[in-house]
Chains A and B, each alone.
Chain A
Amino acid sequence: MSKRGIKGAIKALCAPLLLMLNGCSKSGLYLLEPEGTISRVTHHYFNLDVGIMLLIIIPTALLSVWAMWRYRKGGGGSYRPDWSHSWFIEAVVWGIPLITVGVLSYLSVKAIYKVNPYNPGALAHQEAAAGKPLEVDVIVTDWRWLFIYPGQRIASVNHLVLPVGVPVHFRLTSTSVVNDFIIPQLVGMIDVIPGMRTKQTLEASKTGHYVGFSADYSGAGLSWMNFETQTVTKAKFAQWVKKTQAAPHNMTDAAFNLFAKPYISIDHRPMVFGHVQSGLFDYVVHEVMSGKVWPTPTAMTENMVKYMNKQQANVKAGDY
Chain B
Amino acid sequence: MFVHLQGPWNPVWGRLSLQAIPYHNPILVGTFLFAVVIALAAVGAVLYFRAGPYLWREWLTTVDHKKIGVMYCLLGLVMLFRGFADALMIRTQQAIAVGPHSPGYLGALHGYLTPFHIGQVYTAHGLIMVVFAATPLLVGIMNIIVPLQIGARDMAYPYLNALGFWLTAAAAGLVMLSLFVGNFAHGGWYGFLPYFELPYSPGVGVDYWMWAFQLSAVGTTLGSINLIATIVKMRAPGMTWMRMPIFTWASLSTNLIALTSFPVLMVSLALLGLDRYFGTHFYTAGNGGNLMLYNDLFWVWGHPEVYFLILPAFGMMSEIIPTFSEKTLFGYTTMVVASFAIGGVSWGVWLHHFFTMAAEPSVNSFYSVTTMLVGIPTGVKVFNWIFTMYRGRVRFELPMMWAVLALFLLLVGGMSGMMNAFAANDYMWHNGVFVVAHFHMMVLLIAASIFGAVEYWFPKIFGFKLEQRWGKWFFWFMVLGTAWVFVPMFILGFTGMTRRLDYVPYTQWAPYLRVMLVGMAFYVIALVFFFAHLYVSLRDRVKNRVGADPWGTSRNLEWMTHSPVPAYNFAYIPHVHARDEWAWRKENGVASLANESFEDIHMPRNTGVPVLLGALSFVLCFGLIWRIWWLSAASLALVVLVIIVRSFARNTDEVITAKTVAGVEGAVDDALPSAARG
Contact = CB atoms under 8 A, between A and B. Distances in A.
Interface of A: 1, 5, 8-9, 12-13, 15-17, 19-20, 22-23, 26-32, 39, 42, 45-46, 49-50, 53-54, 56-57, 60-61, 63-64, 67-68, 70-73, 77-86, 89-90, 92-94, 96-98, 100-101, 104-105, 107-109, 111-118, 142, 176-178, 180, 182, 184, 188-191, 193-196, 198-199, 211, 213-224, 226, 266, 288-293, 295-298, 301-305
Nearest to B114: A304
Contact of B330 (A71, A85, A219): A85
B592 interface: no
21 contacts: A13-B483, A15-B484, A64-B385, A71-B391, A72-B393, A89-B331, A101-B376, A105-B368, A108-B423, A109-B368, A111-B423, A115-B424, A115-B427, A177-B195, A196-B285, A199-B358, A215-B431, A223-B503, A223-B505, A224-B505, A288-B286
A81 B195 contact: no
A111 B642 CA distance: 59
Given A79-B393, A82-B328, A223-B505, A104 B356 contact: no
Q: 8 smallest A-B Cβ distances: which pairs? A: A188-B427, A291-B286, A295-B199, A184-B496, A111-B424, A194-B285, A93-B383, A97-B379
Given A109-B368, A191-B356, A296-B199, A289 B285 contact: yes
A236 B423 CA distance: 35
B602 interface: no
Given A32-B494, A73-B395, A290 B328 contact: no
B491 interface: yes
Given A108-B368, A189-B431, A81 B326 contact: yes
Interface string B336-366: 0000000000000000001011100100110
B593 interface: no
Nearest to B424: A111
B394 to A, nearest CB: 5
A9 B479 contact: yes
A72 B408 CA distance: 17
Interface string B177-221: 000000100111000111100011111000000000000000000
Nearest to B489: A16
A305 B356 contact: no
A92 B592 CA distance: 41
**Interface size classification for chain B:** 35 or more
A22 B511 contact: yes
Nearest to B500: A217
Interface in B1-23: 6-7
B418 A53 contact: yes
Contacts of B432: 215
B512 interface: yes
Contacts of A290: 286-287
Contacts of A83: 327-328, 330, 391
Interface in B231-285: 284-285
Contacts of A32: 494
A291 B358 contact: no
Given A83-B327, A118-B358, 17 more contacts: A1-B401, A12-B483, A13-B487, A26-B508, A28-B506, A30-B495, A67-B386, A79-B393, A93-B387, A113-B365, A118-B361, A196-B285, A199-B358, A214-B498, A215-B499, A220-B114, A289-B286
Interface of B: 6-7, 107-109, 114-116, 119, 183, 186-188, 192-195, 199-203, 284-287, 291-292, 325-332, 334, 354, 356-358, 361, 364-365, 368-369, 372-373, 375-376, 379-380, 382-396, 401, 404, 407-408, 411, 414-415, 418-419, 421-425, 427-432, 476, 479-480, 483-484, 487-488, 491, 493-496, 498-506, 508-509, 511-512, 515
Given A53-B418, A180-B356, A290-B286, A85 B331 contact: yes
Contact of A304 (B116, B330, B354): B116
Contacts of A195: 285-286
Contact of B494 (A29, A113, A142, A289): A29
Given A71-B391, A105-B372, A295 B202 contact: yes
A38 B271 CA distance: 39
Contacts of B329: 84
Nearest to A178: B192
Contacts of A94: 334, 376, 380
B427 A42 contact: yes
Contacts of B286: 194-195, 288-293
Given A16-B488, A19-B511, A194-B194, A304 B394 contact: no
Contact of B365 (A92, A97, A108, A301): A108
Contacts of B375: 97, 100-101
A98 B358 contact: no
B488 A19 contact: yes
A211 to B, nearest CB: 7
B107 A31 contact: no
A19 B512 contact: yes
Nearest to B199: A295
A12 B331 contact: no
A71 B393 contact: yes
Contacts of A63: 386
Contacts of A31: 428-429, 493-496
Given A113-B361, A177-B195, A49 B425 contact: yes
A49 B368 CA distance: 13
A304 B495 contact: no
A245 B423 CA distance: 40
B187 A117 contact: no
